[in-house]
Every structure is written in structure tokens, then in C-alpha cells.
Amino acid sequence: MVHQEADVHFSAFIEHGAVVQRGAVVEKDVRIGACSVVGPDVRIGERTVLWHNVSLLHCTIGRDCILHNGVSVGQDGFGFFVNEKGEMIKKPQELNVIIGNNVEIGANSCVDRGSWRDTEIGDHTKIDNLVQVGHNVKIGRCCILCGHAAIGGSAELGDYVVMGGKAGIADHVKVHPQVRLAAKTGVMSDIKEKGDYAGFPAVPAREWRRSAIAVRKLGRDAKKRTKEAPA
């Protein structure tokens, strides 16, 4: 279903069951899969592909992007505070998501809209399945986010950052360009130099490997002493 006040290029292909709402702009050669929803005033750039069950709200999508099944972009971020009565109150989430050109987002990944600034994803960034991008996050160009990675609100990633599977970045943290995070790395404070990092909290990968070897050696030594102790 296409709203009469949506601007859809004649070359766009919209599958049965998809919805394009009022004020949306769908540019040349876009493909929108079955049961996807393009919300009011969303803009989709040329040749971008939305597969099935994609949900877009409060966002602009660049050219030549691919959004796989179940991707959600532009929903409210996770922001709450406790008022003077002890009640949990929702913070307003009223800004947008800006996605650059040649971005790919894997199945069932989520990108939240901004609260005090737009959430942004730079050109040529590639995002795996089941990734969470929090509100107000800024991701640079040519980043890679592997499955189950999560980025807390208002964090910033420079260009060419790589996040291994299940890696996490805390809110408001800044990560320098050309940083690579090993799987399950937890970044709790700013990373100011490029390189490889691992562990929780994140440290340079070489330091983490030395620590892991030392801990293993301590375990072996303790086991050996236990065996050698008199009964």
C-alpha cells in the first residue's frame, strides 16, 4: 500500500504487503520487500534494497544500501529517568537516523533514533545480524560490526573500526579510527590510539594475551602444588 502523498519513483519495485506512508520519498530503482513499512517522511536513496519485514521510521537511507529481513531503524532509543516521585519517566526521543551510502545492515539489527543529536552511520559500513546501535551513536566510514555487537547511546566510532562478535561499547565512549576489537571485548572508556584490543575492560590485545597466559600458568602451578602437597 502506497500513500497518495508519498513520492515513489516509477522504477521502484514494491512487493505485496509493503506499506509506504505519507511524505516518504522512494528514489530510483529501490526495492521494498513484502511486509516492510516505510514510515512518514522517510527518504530512501537510489538502488537501495529493503528485504522483508524491514521497519523504517524517522530516518534517511542513502544510495546502494541493503537492509536485510527484520531490520528496524528509527525506533525510540532506550532512555529513562526517575522523577522526584520515584516514577520511571521516558526521555523524549525526537531526532532521526542518518545512514550513508553503500551501507549493509544484517537481519534483525536495530538502529535507534537520536534524542539530543541524530544517530549516524557512515558510508560503506557493514553491520552483521542482531546488532544494537543505541541512540545518538556516530559510526564512521567503512566500519565492520559483527554479530551481537552492541553500542551504547552517544558513543562514537571513528573510521575503519572493527567490532568482533559480542563486543560491546559503553555509552558516551569514543573509539579512535582503525581500532579492532576482539570478540566479547568490553570497552568502558575512550580508546585513543589505533590498534587491536581485547578483554574486559578493553586493553591492548598483546597485554590481554600476556595476562591470559599468566592466569593459565597460575592455575597450572596451583594444581601442581596441590598434587605435590603431603596428604
Catalytic residues: 135
DSSP secondary structure code for residue 114 in this structure = P
Residue where the block lists cell 519517566: 89
Cα distances from 10 to residues 25, 31, 46, 131, 189, in angstroms, run 12, 11, 12, 33, 49
Q: Is the CA virtual torsion 213, 214, 217, 223 positive or negative?
A: negative
User: Cβ atoms within 10 A of the Cβ of 2, count?
Assistant: 18
Distance CA 141, CA 162 (A): 11
What is the distance between the terminal CA atoms of the chain, rounded to a whole angstrom? 80
